[in-house]
Amino acid sequence: MLIGSPKEIKNHEYRVGLTPESAKELVMQGNDVWIETGAGRGIDATDEQYVAAGAKIVDGPDAIFAECEMVVKVKEPQAVERKKLREGQILYTYLHLAPDPEQTKDLVESGVTAIAYETVTGPRGQLPLLKPMSQVAGRMSVQAGATALEKAHGGRGVLLGGVPGVMPGKVVVIGGGVVGFNAAQMAVGLGADVTILDRDPEVLEKVGTHFEARASTRFSNAANLYDAVTTADLVVGAVLIPGAAAPKLVTREMLKDMQKGAVLVDVAIDQGGCFETSRATTHAEPTYVVDDIVHYCVANMPGAVARTSTYALNNVTLPHALRIARMGWKGALAADPHLAEGLNVHKGEITYRAVASELGYDYRPVAELLD
């Protein structure tokens, strides 16, 4: 198969779809790999390293979109990239379609076969291609929140870990999944006063057992959520409904009762955000203020630590890429029902139920395409 990886063009996105090591693995299986010149610069991977791995360097993205059978990216294709997609081509990347009707419309009209990292499942229902970026984003959320809390950045001027004789900052993590667990780890490590909210008793038991007295757990109902959020210095939104838009758990009304200069970090922004006042921001302008509350809603947080993120992502995406290249998309999906969960769009049809439901499209089950 002819496989291409263009340079990412989203604001301050430094990751790349294929590392030189991944390119070499694909080449060793008999595939041809094209890399856009400079695509690996953000992870300190040179064109020469890709050439040494057996890949071909091409100028600009046009040849990749025009000729490659599979395009491997990190972030969702931007509008200018979507115009280049075509029927019969495989797009393998993060998509996050539910809160993005414009992207969905363009992918449907292109006829492309789009496989989304974030909806590929594992044998126990987990999301293995989303997990490493969730780990990165969870850990970064507390770093970003701690910075936003500084007075010079509009925050309350609170040090999360406190100092002897001064109370630590209060961190509330909404959601005890992968993002929430990693956020809590970082906040606990800084010495903050940490509370984790979730609606699943098993999740609460798991995080409670792990953190013991270093973090508190609370069942997430309206009363407990309000009480926790309105007394917090930093709130991390870590809620995920696979493939669907995130629920709006913190309302604008609640902001009026929060402490002035408190910070909201919305890690769910890729899926529309879990705060009513959330809107996607970039690394260039990461924060904004609503009702005296600082919002950090960067949609590609892991892009800031591109090298760590790219290698972590390739560890989990490469095995599926190798299988798709070897068997074709239909053979690979038929052989692996977990990978089949990643198919979101094919030849103008929506093949992921949550996206179809959220955006009002007819749903075409993947199984019908594989028969």
DSSP code string of 37-68: TTTTGGGT--HHHHHHTT-EEESSSHHHHHH-
Residue 214 CA to residue 212 CA, distance in Å, equals 6
Considering the chain, what percentage of its residues have pLDDT values greater than 70? 100
Q: What are the Cα distances from residue 4, in Å, to 57, 178, 272, 355? A: 10, 30, 29, 27
**Cβ contact 16:310 at 8 Å:** yes
pLDDT at 116: 98
Q: Has 100 been annotated as catalytic?
A: no
- Catalytic-role residue among 270, 320, 336, 346: 270
**Those residues with Cβ within 8 angstroms of residue 296's Cβ, 6 or more apart along the chain or in another chain:** 141, 144, 145, 148, 263, 264, 265, 266, 281, 286, 287
pLDDT at 117: 98
pLDDT at 55: 98
Burial classification of residue 302, based on how many CB atoms lie within 10 Å of its CB (0-12 exposed, 13-18 middle, 19 or more buried) = buried
pLDDT at 237: 98
pLDDT at 243: 82
In the chain, which residues have pLDDT < 50? none
Q: Has 371 been annotated as catalytic?
A: no
